[in-house]
A and B are shown apart, each in its own frame.
Chain A
Amino acid sequence: MHVGWGHVALAGAWGALVSLERRAFLQAMFSRPLVAATGMGLLLGQLQTGLYLGMILELFYLGTASLGAALPENDTLAASGTTAAAAMMAAQTGGGGTPAIWSLCLLLFSGLGLFGRWVDRRMEAHAAGLSAHGLELAEHGELERAVRQNLWGIWPYALVYFALNTVCAALGLWIGTYLSHVPLVVLRGLAWAFPAMASVAAAIAARGSHARSAAAWGLLGGAVMTGAVLVMAWVDG
């Protein structure tokens, strides 16, 4: 598959859209890692990459929530940015997504959630200015303008997250050119890092589920699945 700057821009546009949905409009969960990453993978022609990264990041961020004034890590940027980079990397190699690429991106872009939270904090300062301006305008009877200040909070988000996702995709494209130089033994190790990280993500998810007896429920789910996999393996010979 030929990849170019059009794909990089597309990654930016999708990233901006889901970031807006997360914060400013509707909150119908298009911004959750499972959806944001799958959508990103689909748009960039690397659906499997989007699905598996979305799956693991959904588990990783399962228990995070914006409670009161507390800001959680930005799970949407973590999902869209990591997937954009992995999809561009996979497309650059020409071989499609592999667990080694997914692991590499999860490790390289693991700070995106925290960075996104830092960006969100900076954005709040801008919104506080809008609120103060809205009060001023209302005081002077300019009610329409006061009310519309609400919409001015949207655009900086769209622009900043467009830029951040574009950078992630471009980085993936660039790193992808060097992937063929990575020794096979390292790629094999990275491939095994993926299920290990998935297990850790699942443990974090079970803990983050806030369920009473979460460990018991997690073990039950794991045991049922293990039994099903073993039975299927036995049937298949």
Chain B
Amino acid sequence: MIGPGTHLPKSVELRVFLRSLLLQASWNPKGMQNLGLVYALYPALEVLYPDPERRREAVQRHLTFFNTHPYVAAAIVGGVLYHEERIAAGEEDPRRVNEFKGALMGPLAALGDGFFWLSLRPAAGALCAALVPWLGAWAAVLFLVLYNVVHLTLRAWLFRMGLQLGDRLVEAVARARLPTRGARLRAVAAASAGAAAAYLAFTFGSQQGGVGGWLLAGGCLALGALSYVLVARKVPTAVLTAMAALLAGCLGAWL
């Protein structure tokens, strides 16, 4: 039984963290990540609530709607443990933990989406895609390393912050300045995409040889620039790709 001021064993905290990696296993439109959250928390709830009735109540309060970014969810999972320790010790009202989840899941989802999905992943992906001609299969390895050094470090740090600070984790997350860093990463993604297109067009041009090959290479790049404008005007990407293939294919066959 957990009493006032005592904490969960480290091994249980580790189990919860590892199980939180399966947060999205049963993502569903109704409860979204609810099953994943309860699955992650259960080893801790077993220790905190030896009484089956209190444990059932705890499980039920976490089977309600829950949805956030799967990485930054680590902060909420840690924070839930922080609150559940206090609820089990009788220091806090059980409603407090649901208020905590409700208040944080939206803002943290926006933060996680903006940094991980829309900044870090495109930057690492475009940079490593542009490096494929030089690094070969190592480009894929480099992508995994670059991405996961940041991802796993932040995920573990967020879990620890939630566990140690509870509601005050917001201040720690704000100090990480993720939106500012994200803006820089997005510029890397755009520049790398341009470099990859240029490399492919000119490499294929030089392989083809002659003036025709270089003209086609330049044409491919011009097609890319035109596509950029057309994508902005909501022309479907599948249509653009097919048209580009058709045009370059006809010209290539003729030249």
Residues of A within 8 A of B (CB): 23-30, 32, 34-35, 38-39, 42, 47, 51-52, 54-55, 58-60, 62-63, 65-69, 99, 103, 106-107, 110-111, 124, 127-128, 130-132, 134-135, 138-139, 141, 143, 146-154, 185-186, 188-215, 217-226, 229-230, 233
Contact = CB atoms under 8 A, between A and B. Distances in A.
B250 A200 contact: no
Contacts of A141: 52, 56
Given A34-B143, A194-B204, A217-B194, A152 B26 contact: yes
B189 A205 contact: yes
A150 B39 CA distance: 7
B81 to A, nearest CB: 16
B183 A212 contact: yes
B227 A200 contact: yes
B90 to A, nearest CB: 21
Nearest to B140: A38
Interface string B167-202: 000000000000000010011011111111111111
A35 B39 contact: no
Nearest to A110: B238
Given A29-B147, A68-B109, A150-B26, A196 B247 contact: yes
Contacts of B228: 203, 206-207, 215, 218
B238 A25 contact: no
A65 to B, nearest CB: 4
A194 B199 CA distance: 13
B253 A124 contact: no
Secondary structure call for the A interface: helix
B9 interface: no
A200 B224 contact: yes
The 10 closest A-B pairs by CB, nearest first: A192-B252, A153-B26, A199-B224, A196-B248, A202-B197, A221-B194, A189-B253, A221-B191, A189-B249, A222-B194
B236 to A, nearest CB: 11
B1 interface: no
Count class of interface residues, chain B: 35 or more
A165 to B, nearest CB: 18
A59 B196 contact: yes
Contact of B198 (A26, A153, A221): A221
B238 A229 contact: no
Contacts, number: 351
Among B55, B195, B246, max chain A CB count under 10 A is at B195
Contact of A24 (B24, B59, B251): B24
B104 interface: no
A224 B196 CA distance: 11
B60 to A, nearest CB: 5
A220 to B, nearest CB: 6
A192 B121 contact: no
Contacts of A143: 42, 52, 55-56, 59
A139 to B, nearest CB: 8
Contacts of A68: 67, 109
25 contacts: A55-B139, A59-B193, A65-B118, A111-B238, A127-B28, A128-B28, A131-B34, A135-B63, A146-B38, A153-B27, A185-B253, A192-B204, A193-B244, A194-B204, A195-B205, A196-B219, A196-B247, A197-B241, A199-B224, A200-B237, A202-B224, A203-B224, A209-B190, A225-B195, A229-B202
